Amino acid sequence: MNDMTSPTALRRPFPDACLAALRAIVGDRLSVAQAVREHHGHDESPYPDVLPDAVIFAQSTEEVAAVARICNTYHVPIVAYGAGSSLEGHLLPVQGGVTLDMSGMNAVVAVNAGDFTATVQAGVTRKQLNEYLRDTGLFFPVDPGADASLGGMAATRASGTNAVRYGTMRENVVSLTVVTADGRVVRTARRAPKSSAGYDLTRIFVGSEGTLGLITEVTVKLYPQPEAVSAAVCNFPSLGEAVDSVIEIMQAGVPVARVEFMDEHAVRSVNRYSKLDLRETPLLLFEFHGSTAGVQEQAAAVQAIVHEHGGMDFEWAHRPEERNRLWAARHNAYFAGLQLRPGCRSSTTDVCVPISALAECVRETARDLAAAPFPTTIVGHVGDGNFHVLMLLDPDSEDEWQASERINHALVRRAIAADGTCTGEHGVGLHKMGFLAEEHGEDALELMRGLKHAFDPNNILNPGKIISW
């Protein structure tokens, strides 16, 4: 495991000649100002800040390619930066170098409504895209908690509350424009719905966290806005009964669009933060998409199942405002949780297990949490077998940090033992590197390392992340 000490000893030289060559390309869109570097040396992880040597605000794929060629020549690291919302230290430039801020590359390049695809620059955020699509009758479903950039979402293989129905970035990226370590521009696939034409370059870059190439454009799948949408909240006497309901719903093949779990602590935090009055017990939050008849059918099937598991107060939210308020509250669960302990440092876990192992995994985790010396919440995309524990730590207490790490390790080992993964959606970054050998085995890591060496022989792309060089 990585500890909290950032490996600043690994910083590489940043030659003046490199700085000059970069300035010649991007002019005053390169900054070495302390405030700008600080802003880009910080994410939502529990790690301390690590500052880049310089920040470049990119404007085009060609410019990114020119920057890559220069950095590759000087062996200077490049870290791509989207919305700064990563949770495991992905964007911390642990070996120094250039942070490439993609937020200015935020144009929607094309919406091909007839083909259900949109092509956007990497800095476009998921909310921006959906705002743009509003009048087309289409939407883009992948929704991590933060309003992340599409480039960042592709890079971390993000998902969110809709994944149970619509899939993750793995399923929803059609094609990428990628700048390679040596500054070539590659489009990974065409827009055809399927292809058997060679190696799946798209899926190689999705989830590669900026270590194999720099994503500058993303083509994603779109979906028709459903004719009918309905949401419901249901409380449960215990966590186990809520999770067991989800397992039965999935096994019955009900095509729920969303099914989210919150434990009583999460509900309390959300009530306070979003001024709701949800009953403070474990609860499930559902959404159903389909035709009017289809939605009713799904809801009836779900209602019958939750009733058998002691579900109480199955409450409908039919009106869009009501629904949006509930889902906004769910999306803000992370920020709501932070408010349970003002001034805290947070650590989040992110395991995902086969659904048959979910109930046991959540129950054992809750047992660990009951003994924790700090406040915690559990929320989960439980339809996918994915859940998070948010741990709210005293920033000055090494004991609390160590206790949180012990809980995290125990949880990851429990998930791996159940044929699950150490990260369902947050990614590896720095914090999960130590678990990959346990999850995949050394031989699989050796293949990953071979891929990294082939695609980035000078190790300039987000070095020190995912796997050791």
190 binds a second copy per the rule CB under 8 A: yes
DSSP state of 371: T
The residue among 235, 261, 252, 373 whose CA lies nearest residue 314 is 235
308 binds a second copy per the rule CB under 8 A: no
Site for a second copy in 350-369 (CB under 8 A): 350, 352-356
Distances (CA, A) of 367 to 221, 361, 363: 40, 10, 6
Residues 157/210, Cβ–Cβ less than 8 Å = no
Nearer to a second copy, 53 or 241 (CB): 241
Nearer to a second copy, 374 or 387 (CB): 387
Helix, strand counts (H, E) of the chain: 17, 19
Site for a second copy in 12-71 (CB under 8 A): none
Q: Rounded to whole angstroms, how far apart are CA atoms 409 and 432?
A: 10
E-assigned strands of 67-202? Answer: 78-81, 98-101, 108-112, 117-121, 138-139, 173-179, 185-187
Phi, psi (deg, nearest 5) at residue 373: -85, 25
Place of tokens 């806005």: 225
DSSP state of 329: H
**Contact mark string toward a second copy, 385..404, x via CB under 8 A:** xx------------------
Least separation in angstroms between residue 172's CB and a second copy is: 11
Q: Rounded to whole angstroms, how far apart are CA atoms 402 and 143?
A: 31
Q: Which residues contact 27 (CB under 8 A, 6 or more apart)?
A: none
Place of tokens 């805290």: 344
Q: Rounded to whole angstroms, how far apart are CA atoms 305 and 302?
A: 5
Site for a second copy in 409-448 (CB under 8 A): 415-416, 419-428, 432, 435-436, 439-441, 443-448
Amino acid letter, 110: A
Place of tokens 């921006």: 128
**Contact mark string toward a second copy, 117..136, x via CB under 8 A:** x-------------------
Site for a second copy in 241-300 (CB under 8 A): 247, 250-253, 290-291, 293-294, 297
How many beta carbons lie within 10 A of that of residue 446, not counting itself? 12
Nearer to a second copy, 224 or 320 (CB): 224
Site for a second copy in 159-178 (CB under 8 A): 159, 163, 167-168, 170-171
**Contact mark string toward a second copy, 208..247, x via CB under 8 A:** x---x----------xx----------------------x
By CB under 8 A, how many residues form the interface with a second copy?
93
Q: Tell me which of 45, 95, 99, 188 binds a second copy, using CB under 8 A.
A: 188
197 binds a second copy per the rule CB under 8 A: yes
Stretch that binds a second copy, among 27-35, 320-328, 334-342, 379-387 (CB under 8 A): 379-387
Q: Tell me which of 16, 28, 35, 194 binds a second copy, using CB under 8 A.
A: 194
Place of tokens 């800040």: 49
Nearer to a second copy, 201 or 410 (CB): 201
Least separation in angstroms between residue 307's CB and a second copy is: 20
The residue among 437, 469, 430 whose CA lies nearest residue 453 is 469
Nearer to a second copy, 40 or 432 (CB): 432
Q: Tell me which of 127, 184, 318, 319 binds a second copy, using CB under 8 A.
A: 184
Describe the strand order of the beta sheet including 98-101 as a list of residue ranges. 30-31, 54-57, 98-101, 78-81
Least separation in angstroms between residue 454's CB and a second copy is: 4
Q: Tell me which of 203, 279, 325, 409 binds a second copy, using CB under 8 A.
A: 203
The residue among 226, 229, 203 whose CA lies nearest residue 215 is 203
Q: Tell me which of 13, 15, 104, 193 binds a second copy, using CB under 8 A.
A: 193
156 binds a second copy per the rule CB under 8 A: yes
What is the three-class DSSP state of 240?
A: helix
Least separation in angstroms between residue 64's CB and a second copy is: 14
Least separation in angstroms between residue 434's CB and a second copy is: 12
Nearer to a second copy, 322 or 419 (CB): 419
Site for a second copy in 79-118 (CB under 8 A): 112-117
